[in-house]
Amino acid sequence: MRHNYHIRPATVSDLPVILQLAEATWASTYSSILTQEQIAYMFEVIYAEEALKAQMQEGQTFLLLYEGDKPVGFAAYSVKHEAERLYKLNKIYLLPQCQGKGYGKALLSAVEEEVKQKGAFALDLNVNRHNKAKQFYERCGYSVYQQEDIPIGPYWMNDYVMRKAL
């Protein structure tokens, strides 16, 4: 079944849409692996409108995926290490009811294409060590490169760093 979707770059004027999508996806993504307190804290740190605006100003490129005229997902990427031509997928989220339609792969492929055009050698991403999305990334050609534990306020993100050569 072919779905009617398109992907476009996001601008500062799209921040309310990105925030709305994040609010609709975060709890379902993390409720089984993080405490409600940690989810709320991290959400506020990462997704306050000013935080998103700062991320854009600091070089994160956001993409929005629409099903018809309805925004259903977003991704963000940035340069991780310029000299090594290494980029990082910072975020990728789809509304739960839109998962399984191929949109995640389409959004990830769009990011891969964009960074390849910018000269990227590889794309890294972080995924919580207990997040079932790890299997999705493996199916898309990513493999665990290393593990890292990142402090966010009083909490820790216990992640795999996954990498795909482009």
d(C-alpha 20, C-alpha 54), whole Å: 18
The predicted pLDDT at position 111 comes to 98
Which pLDDT tens digit goes with each residue over 51-99? Answer: 999 999 999 999 999 999 999 999 999 999 999 999 999 999 999 999 9
Q: Structural domain of residue 131, as residue ranges?
A: 5-165
Average pLDDT over the chain, rounded to whole?
Answer: 94
List the CATH number of the domain containing 19: 3.40.630.30
Instruction: Determine the straight-line distance between the first and last CA of the chain, rounded to whole angstroms.
Output: 28
Banded model confidence at residue 2, pLDDT cuts 50, 70, 90: low
What is the number of structural domains in the chain?
Answer: 1
pLDDT, mean of residues 146-164: 94
* CA triple 148-100-28, angle to 5 deg: 55
- Radius of gyration, CA atoms only, the chain: 15
